[in-house]
Amino acid sequence: MNTLTDNQRQTLGRIGDSLIPAALGMPSFTGAEAQGEMVDHVLALRPELLNDLRRALDGVAADEDAASATERLNREDPEALGAIGLVASSAYYLMPGVRAIMGYKGQEHRPASADEEHDYLRDNLLQAVVDRGPIYRDPGVE
Amino acid sequence: MGETAEVLIIGAGASGAVAAKHLSEAGVRVVCLEQGRAVTSDEFYGDKPEWELMSQRLWHPNPNVRGLATDYPIDTSESDVNPLMFAGVGGSTLIYAAHWQRFMPSDLRVRTLDGVADDWPFTYQDLEPFYDFMDEEMGVSGLAGDPAYPPMTPPPLPPMPIGTIGRLAAKGMNDLGWHWWPAPQAIPSRAYRGRSQCVRRGTCMQGCPEQAKASTDLTHWPDAIANGAQLITGARVREITVNAAGLATGAIWIDRDGVEHHQKAEKVIVCANGVGTPRLLMLSGGDRFANGLGNSSGLVGRNLMMHPYAATVGYFDEPLDSWLGPAGQAIHSMQFYETDKSRGFVRGAKWNAMPTGGPLGMRSAYGGAPLEEAWGENLRRSTQKRFGHSFEWGIIAEDLPDPDNRVVLDDTLTDSDGIPSPKIIYRNSENTEKLIAFHLDRQKEAMEACGASSISTTTLMRDCGWHLMGTCRMGNDPETSVLDQWGTSHDVANLHVLDGSTFVTSSGFNPTATICAIALRSVLHMIETRAEQRTAS
Ligand SMILES: Cc1cc2nc3c(=O)[nH]c(=O)nc-3n(C[C@H](O)[C@H](O)[C@H](O)COP(=O)(O)OP(=O)(O)OC[C@H]3O[C@@H](n4cnc5c(N)ncnc54)[C@H](O)[C@@H]3O)c2cc1C
Ligand code: SF4
């Protein structure tokens, strides 16, 4: 079952591109093809966003310019625009191609090696702190 | 349920777990009632790409955002800060960041040293052996010798690496001649007592998918259950019952089918946290204690402290891999912790240098920004500038007890069982505002010293009530406190409170090491004096 109609998805693509345009070496929202299955995946995990999202998309006429629709939604229905922003950016940053360009592998599995543990002792980074001595107030023991 | 428990514990979070383990180990018949359920590590999203998406709803720390039936909603309309927590086996430790901080000696002597608030009924030296013991039980990683503390027993595990962001922050602090130290964490740098080594996913605040972080569902509950403690989940307590002699006799609780039960008990220990505990005491007592159970002082629910949190983010040209965990802290600093009255305020704060998470988390930091700043080409520029290239110096600001900052019962809001919800009334004091302003200025200097190309600050984060303290304070005088130094009610001899409600002052430290040390001290005292105690039977 489609979570969005073709019209709604097209509108999401247009507004998504105005929020996430192609720039600085990164593709736009639809350039990354985030408006397809990834949006459905996001909505399957966060179904409570659907109402706001559909309301926002249905309120944009086919001939309304994306930038002005975004401005209008921001003024009139910020929650609805928030839903578009969250769904679009979530889907976008979940796209493997986008992550690859950003150099983000997701939250990594990178156990520390013993070598990393005490690097500040080996190069004396911590020594100055030790040399300055105690900094706590001692209220004494009654 | 017909059997009378020797001790009934309400709440299976940090303090409840410590109590259950040690009482059951001593052969005490323990029953624990917990409104939440047991959560397993495969439910957490930290090892899945959708982690950030789910952290904004299902694993959000604010129960009002999660909206789960196991939580109670909270009226925060009159509060500067939202209280944060989690309901389940392990309680809020399921989603805590595991900064494992001791108080400094001065924290327990605030009246003597600074002329404000009150001294605690015991000293740092009294607590020290229990801190040591808890370090072992939690598997704390850290480096001995921090000059912000008196000499102490080294923690059982070597420190987590401080990583790229910790080293960068430390260099800045060294240039300024300011204190820093590798941060102590209840996160195992090596596999420890059945828990895995931390793999630095940095998702600790949405649950650890690796079974590494020391949440009490892993550190304490398995032993407590093996010792014979009975843990009942989905059990929402609505009232602690009392007899004609004014002693606690147990509690009425509601199961997930809506059926009411009465659990009889000789003693009751409330471990429902700094909001849940005063709520429950105010719901209890009937006509005999019309003001709420154990509330002859009128202080149940008052003096709520939540550690208003402010932070400074620095942005750097070089890559810092600043999504790498642990999420909590790489290094900490107590340079400006102790009172210096020339600053125009008393008390201070701990700082923690922290990573800044994934790409989406950085997006949510823009909430409320004008459209053209938050989206479009600016999104590109800001993401490039921030993501992987920033770290945060956070401020745990000590807020002093103020009776007007309080938890009360809400007139209309209820939980899913129809039980009145708590309402929070909480305002930042002038002292706290000055303290935060001073610390933010110093943090800007620290960021500049380590070469930040730009800096941004958050003066008060609303979703920051991680630490819930003070609402059933301890003390020697029944007129000015709710509990004695062992967490026993001044009014009801077999009623005890062991969670963060007991705190006299908040310190500028994350509280759970101290909550657990106090719970352990009180429970061991309870076991030692078992024969002398008054009970309902
Ligand atoms: C996101 C986050 C990050 C944190 N990070 C840190 C940190 O880095 N370091 C630190 O020291 N602390 C941290 N904390 C705080 C820490 O989690 C708490 O201090 C600690 O868990 C408090 O222990 P407690 O026993 O007082 O209560 P909790 O752990 O909150 O447990 C209370 C339990 O009581 C149950 N309960 C409440 N009412 C009822 C009722 N009526 N019937 C039945 N059960 C009930 C609740 O469901 C809950 O499980 C953090 C907290 C959060 C939310
Ligand atoms: S950083 Fe370590 S403790 Fe935190 S979630 Fe990852 S593995 Fe668990």
Q: Is the CB of residue B410 below 6 angstroms from any atom belonging to ligand 1? A: no
Write out pLDDT tens, residues A27-76. 999 999 999 999 999 999 999 999 999 999 999 999 999 999 999 998 99
Domain assignment of residue A84, given as a range: 6-102
Find the farthest-apart pair of alpha carbons in chain B and give their distance in angstroms, rounded.
Answer: 72
Q: Which of B8, B64, B31, B12 is nearest to B410 (CA)?
A: B64
Query: How many domains does chain A divide into?
Result: 1
Query: Is A15 a domain residue?
Result: yes
Query: Is A69 a domain residue?
Result: yes
Domain boundaries, chain B: 5-40+51-532
Instruction: Judge whether B488 and B495 are in contact, CB under 8 Å.
Output: yes
Tokens representing B155 are 């923690």
pLDDT category at B346 given cuts 50, 70, 90 is very high
- What whole-number distance in Å separates Cα of residue B314 and Cα of residue B169? 10
- Tell me the average pLDDT of chain B: 95
pLDDT category at B366 given cuts 50, 70, 90 is very low
Is the pLDDT score of B73 beyond 60? yes
Mutate to test the interface with A, among B111, B152, B379 (most CBs of A within 10 A): B379
Is the pLDDT score of B371 beyond 80? no
Is the pLDDT score of A122 beyond 90? yes
DSSP labels, B162-176: -HHHHHHHHHHHHHH
Tokens representing B166 are 């910790």
In single-letter form, the type of residue at position B355 comes to P
Is the pLDDT score of A11 beyond 70? yes
**What's the Rg (C-alpha) of chain A?**
24
Instruction: Judge whether B242 and B285 are in contact, CB under 8 Å.
Output: yes
Which residue among B53, B57, B379 sits closest to A20, beta carbon to beta carbon?
B379
Is the pLDDT score of B164 beyond 90? yes
pLDDT category at B362 given cuts 50, 70, 90 is low
Q: Best mutation site among B157, B203, B206, B219 for ligand 2, i.e. most ligand atoms within 8 A of its Cβ?
A: B203
Instruction: Judge whether B271 and B9 are in contact, CB under 8 Å.
Output: yes
Query: Is A64 a domain residue?
Result: yes
Does B112 contact chain A (CB < 8 Å)? yes
CATH assignment, B5-40+51-532 = 3.50.50.60
Helix, strand, or coil (residue B531): helix
Instruction: Judge whether B208 and B46 are in contact, CB under 8 Å.
Output: yes
Backbone φ, ψ for residue B386 (5° rounding): -95, -50
Query: Is A131 a domain residue?
Result: no
- What whole-number distance in Å separates Cα of residue A88 and Cα of residue A35? 7
For chain A, give the percent of residues with pLDDT over 70. 97
Query: Is A118 a domain residue?
Result: no
Other CB atoms within 10 A of residue B151 CB: 10
Q: How many Å lie between the centroid of ligand 2 and the Cα of residue B329?
A: 12
Instruction: Judge whether B284 and B270 are in contact, CB under 8 Å.
Output: no
Instruction: Judge whether A36 and A16 are in contact, CB under 8 Å.
Output: no
What's the confidence (pLDDT) of residue B533? 76
Is the pLDDT score of B367 beyond 50? no
In single-letter form, the type of residue at position B226 comes to A
Write out pLDDT tens, residues B215-264. 999 999 999 999 999 999 999 999 999 999 999 999 999 999 999 999 99
Half-sphere exposure for B207 (CA within 13 Å, toward CB): 27
Could you give the ipTM of this predicted complex? 0.92
